[in-house]
Amino acid sequence: MINKINKLWLFVMSRFVQFLLVSVMLVPIGAKAAQATCIEDKAALLELDFMSFDQDFEGGWRAVADTPGCKPEAVKLIEAYQQQRTDLSDGMKHTLRLHQAQLHAELGHNEAAIALFRQSYKPDEQDRSGWNPYMDATIAFIKKDKPKLVDAIARLKAVPRPEGFDPRDAEGNPIEVPWPPNLTIVESYLRCFDMNYVEVNVEGQCPRPKNDETAD
């Protein structure tokens, strides 16, 4: 009787061990399959022209980034695009680095984001729209450095409107364009200082001031 029980026990245990082995083997396969769904044809994406790769809001790297769990693959894709393409202007490279930085910030990779944001500064003589104060404010918000954020906002507000600035639509009609650019977002950094980059920039959780008044 005891031998029969022992044999039965050994049989049950052997089946259990087999089940565990199969489960362990399947986990990496499933993970790889999930990762593969992020990018179906990487070569085709890398062959896209800049506008299709970067400015198509339903294609290029954005389609990858918008797939749940695929933002890290989108970051790598932008990096691969920059490395492979030899026809990118400095302006195109600047834009791609900025978008990489934003993705890193959304992922909480703060050091990587800050390093790339710093690479996007313009020479002072070329910065007529307050881009550098905007970058300063973004970095200060990520680092949770309120004095530097307040200082960056003040410098951005002080950027003068260019002489002859007269924005118009495609039909030549005057349009109202807030000046300076990006002031609304940097003021939201101060207004919602305790939130993170995703909550303010992606999820829109930072409420606007009443009557659209700007924050002090």
Alpha-helical runs (H) found in the chain: 2-36, 42-46, 50, 60-65, 71-84, 90-107, 110-119, 131-143, 146-157, 183-191, 197-201
CA 197 to chain centre: 9
What is the count of structural domains for the chain? 2
| Residue that terminates a domain, selected from 71, 86, 119 | 119
pLDDT band at 172 (very low <50, low <70, confident <90, very high): confident
Same domain membership, residue 43 and residue 104: yes
- State the pLDDT at residue 209: 74
Same domain membership, residue 111 and residue 133: no
- State the pLDDT at residue 49: 96
What domain range is 114 assigned to?
Answer: 39-119
Residue 60 has pLDDT above 50, yes or no: yes
Same domain membership, residue 205 and residue 141: yes
pLDDT band at 210 (very low <50, low <70, confident <90, very high): low
| Residue that terminates a domain, selected from 69, 87, 119 | 119
Same domain membership, residue 208 and residue 126: yes
Instruction: Report the C-alpha gap between 74 and 81 in whole angstroms.
Output: 10
Work out the average pLDDT over 54-72.
Answer: 95
User: Residue 111 corresponds to which amino acid?
Assistant: E
- State the pLDDT at residue 35: 47
Same domain membership, residue 105 and residue 190: no
Report yes or no on 167 lying in a domain. Answer: yes
Same domain membership, residue 125 and residue 154: yes
Same domain membership, residue 69 and residue 45: yes
Work out the average pLDDT over 138-150.
Answer: 98
Same domain membership, residue 155 and residue 99: no
Same domain membership, residue 78 and residue 108: yes
Same domain membership, residue 137 and residue 109: no
pLDDT band at 187 (very low <50, low <70, confident <90, very high): very high
Give me the half-sphere count of Cα atoms (radius 13 Å) on the Cβ side of residue 187. Answer: 16
Report yes or no on 129 lying in a domain. Answer: yes
| Residue that terminates a domain, selected from 82, 97, 119 | 119
Same domain membership, residue 153 and residue 89: no
Same domain membership, residue 128 and residue 75: no
